[in-house]
Amino acid sequence: MTARGVPVTRHAPHRMIRLGALLATVWLAALAAAGPAAPSALAVDPPTMTARVLLQGHARLGSWIAIEVHLVNSGPSISGELRLQGGSQGGTRYATAVQLDSPSDKTWILHAQPPSFGQQLEVVLASGTQILLRQKVAVTIHDPSQLIVGVVAENGPGVVGKLSLPAVQNQQPAVIVPLTVADLPARIEAWSALDRLVWQDVDASSLSTEQLAAMRGWLALGGRLVIVGGTAGIGSLAGFPDDILPYRPSVTVDVAGSSLTSLLGTPPVGSADVPAMAGELIRGRVLATSGDRVVAAQTTYGSGTVTILGIDPTVGWVAEASASRSLWPGLIPSRSDGTVGTGDDSQIVQAVSNLPSLALPPLGGLLLLLFGYIALIGPLNYIILRRIDRREWAWVTMPILIVGFALGAYAFGSALRGSSIIVNEVGIVPGAP
């Protein structure tokens, strides 16, 4: 078949169809090859971050807080740093280097000062200039005179609900904070917001070595630990060392209400005997006895005190209003009767900024630079331009001289110490009797 003398084949449309089918087959094969790879790439989860302030976020101005940051990474390795922003000094940034391998599940503890204004800090995970994760954590700032009582108990709400502390004139009401062992910091600086600690029915051996050392320091600086009886038995106190306890409970006995008059006042008529942890006095003074055994005692540790109350103050007639009003004020006195003397570290940033090694540059070099600048830009520049009869060039030579001397001054300062990194450290040495 011809059209205007040009031969046309009848099979051309079939070739086009076969070519299209071939291209479609290649395209589908490419999709099939890439298909398994795409889900695997999407299956890699980004890193996650969970941050919180220990002691349930309670703090005082001038003190230190501990921020626990939990990072989980199942993707590529990350090298960067954790940053804290929003502390007491607006221009201050707290940071620590982190290395997240693949996979990794790590926890960091950061320390910073609480913000002077606002109720939150921002935790940032950064790698170079890239911000990978950020999270805001809440901080509750308390008045310096406000009493803060922590309660570590198996039944925290039960103890908190029974605490009856009288109001103190011209002071805010005491704050009762339910805590767990995980809420207790591992460094003494972060304990400074806590005034009193009540412990019941929680195994003391769950305290880490660092937490126990921090508790010792907190007690030595004026903290007060009150250990009360409960249902866990005497074995729950095995983790407390003997040198901080007034007595080591070794047996459980039934105590008559009349033996507890010094603590609870006159017991109600027909009051039943109550079980109590008993033992022999090691140190301190006796608060109550049952026969020849001590069931309540108190001892000093540094500037602080440790009290063991062998009975459970949250059940039975002991928990009633009249007995409770007599018991708790004696065990947990107001803040005016003793505070934790950790000091105010709010000026520590200014102390670090004071660089005693940074001296003024040599006076001779400064005078040479100053008088050389005055002489060259003034009379010498004028004399030279007048000699060559080009005084109109002053519009060009003066800016050049100014820029030249500015660069010279920068080079002079850089040669002295401009490119040096100066590390200034401040040591904090807590002392206790």
Task: Give 27's pLDDT tier (boundaries 50, 70, 90).
Answer: low
**CB-based burial label for 72 (10 Å; 0-12, 13-18, 19+):** middle
Alpha-carbon distance values, 318 to 105, 260, 268 (Å): 46, 10, 10
Full 3-state SS string of 408-424: HHHHHHHHHHHCCCCCC
Domain 144-337, what fold?
Answer: Rossmann fold (3.40.50)
The structure tokens listed for 75 are 């993707």
Distance from CA of residue 346 to its chain's centroid?
Answer: 15
Report the interhelical angle of 363-375 vs 394-413 (nearest 10°). Answer: 170
Pick the CATH number of 48-141 from 1.10.3080.10, 2.60.40.10, 2.60.120.260, 3.90.180.10: 2.60.40.10
User: Which residues does 246 contact at the CB level (< 8 Å), separation at least 6?
Assistant: 281, 282, 283, 284, 285, 294, 297, 298, 299, 306, 307, 308
Residues 85-142 have pLDDT tens digits of 765 555 567 888 999 998 899 999 999 888 877 788 889 999 888 999 999 999 999 8
What percent of the chain clears pLDDT 90, i.e. is strictly above it? 38
pLDDT of residue 90: 52
Task: Give 171's pLDDT tier (boundaries 50, 70, 90).
Answer: confident
Domain ranges of the chain: 48-141, 144-337, 361-414
- pLDDT at 172 > cutoff 70: yes
- pLDDT at 352 > cutoff 80: no
User: Which residues does 421 contact at the CB level (< 8 Å), separation at least 6?
Assistant: none
Q: Which of 116, 93, 138 is nearest to 346 (CA)?
A: 116
Q: Lowest mean pLDDT: which of 18-27, 104-113, 279-288, 372-381?
A: 18-27
Alpha-carbon distance values, 44 to 37, 39, 50, 294, 377 (Å): 12, 9, 19, 61, 66
**What is the mean predicted confidence (pLDDT) over 76-92?**
75
CA angle 21, 8, 15 (to 5 degrees): 10
pLDDT of residue 301: 94
Q: Which of 128, 122, 127 is nearest to 110 (CA)?
A: 122
CA atoms within 13 A on the CB side of 157: 0
Q: With contact defined as beta carbons under 8 Å apart, do 67 and 53 qualify? A: yes
pLDDT of residue 2: 44
More confident of the two residues 326 and 289? 289
Measure the CA–CA gap between 195 and 168, rounded to whole angstroms.
15
**What is the mean predicted confidence (pLDDT) over 10-32?**
55
